[in-house]
Amino acid sequence: MGGAVSAGEDNDELIDNLKEAQYIRTELVEQAFRAIDRADYYLEEFKDNAYKDLAWKHGNIHLSAPCIYSEVMEALDLQPGLSFLNLGSGTGYLSSMVGLILGPFGINHGVELHSDVIEYAKQKLDFFIRTSDSFDKFEFCEPSFVTGNCLEISLECTQYDRVYCGAGVQKEHEDYMKNLLKVGGILVMPLEEKLTKITRTGPAAWETKKILAVSFAPLIQPNHAESGKSKLVHLPPMAVRSLQDLARIAIRGTIKKIIHQETMSKNGNGLKNPPRFKRRRVRRRRMETIVFLDKEVFASRISNPSDDNNNCEEFEEERREEEEKCVPELKPDPPVNFLREKLKMSSLRTET
């Protein structure tokens, strides 16, 4: 799947192409896509293909095409504070983008069949948290991943506001997927070769919309041949935030506000100095007078009394312009991640 838009030279150009083709239509989705570099979720030897609108698979690791993820993100209609369940969470790329929108009071869970892919996703999540400036710019809802078959989720699990399944769902499993939703919730999944959006409008009422034709590998059916028993998947509990978490969120928010205020005061409320317009210099020409007298010609030059003063002014202005040209342009200092710096200072004080 994919190939709907042109390849980009980098992540931003890929997003520009998705916007131009109307796959990305809202600001929240655009910000999430720009905040996480798709190439970071590729193996090093395959990164040259990261900005193509194509799916990628290597062993059990898989990424859908950017145009598919765009349609999924738009269809989910994500808002801060919602709960999200990703069935077939894979590398965690989609879950991390969703987490940037859900914010610190959301719920972000993923179920993945392959344990090696879970480890890969955790490595990528750790790398994002440690190195990405986007982690400091957004209030992030960190995803939690569990290993198991998403068709064996315990019936005791809590329902979710938003659910996405990243594998083809057979018609026989449609009701199973629907029951994972809260009333008012949205489910997006490939159903009968169509990316489908289902909204739960009541306890037994649904609205269905077909988004676009897709081709996904089907869900892997549970295998009970070895033990004869199903291995129920227990999702992480939707626990109330601890005091420590609430304190951390409040401290981060306060530091971000302080940094924003300091930046605004340094930059003069963020407004740059207005452009300086050069005054247009008008050169006055001396007037020459030619007098014809009989057969002789007399030429005389009549000078304006203010010419001498104007010449001086013009000379001074030219001198000032030359001086301005000679002043070397100062290169701006590289951007500083103030939030990370303040957190480092706090940790150093704690250690001492």
Torsion sign (Cα): 310, 314, 317, 319: negative
Q: How far apart are CA 242 and CA 253, in angstroms?
A: 17
- Output the CA–CA distances (angstroms, integers) from residue 131 to 18, 61, 91, 135, 185, in the order listed: 26, 22, 17, 8, 34
φ and ψ at residue 290, rounded to 5 degrees = -115, 125
How many angstroms separate the CA atoms of 129 and 31, rounded?
Answer: 17
Identified catalytic residue from 64, 70, 83, 96: 64
DSSP-derived pairing of the beta strands 205-213 and 194-202 = antiparallel
* Spatial separation of the C-alpha atoms in residues 122 and 135, rounded to whole Å: 15
Please work out, in degrees rounded to the nearest 5, the angle formed at the alpha carbon of residue 155 by the alpha carbons of 152 and 158: 110
Find all residues with CB under 8 Å of 219, minimum gap 6, and list them.
88, 150, 151, 165, 167, 168, 169, 170, 173
How far is Cα 160 from Cα 184, in angstroms, rounded to an integer?
Answer: 10
Closest CA to 190 of 210, 207, 161, 162: 210
Helix-strand-coil percent breakdown of the chain, rounded to 5?
A: 40, 20, 40
Other beta carbons less than 10 A from residue 60's beta carbon: 14
64 flagged as catalytic = yes
The answer to whether 69 and 77 are in contact (CB under 8 A) is: no
Amino acid identity at 139 = E
Q: How many CA atoms within 13 Å lie on the side-chain side of 300? A: 6
Give one word for 128, left, alpha or beta, with left for phi > 0 and alpha for psi -120 to 50. alpha
Residues serving a catalytic function are 64
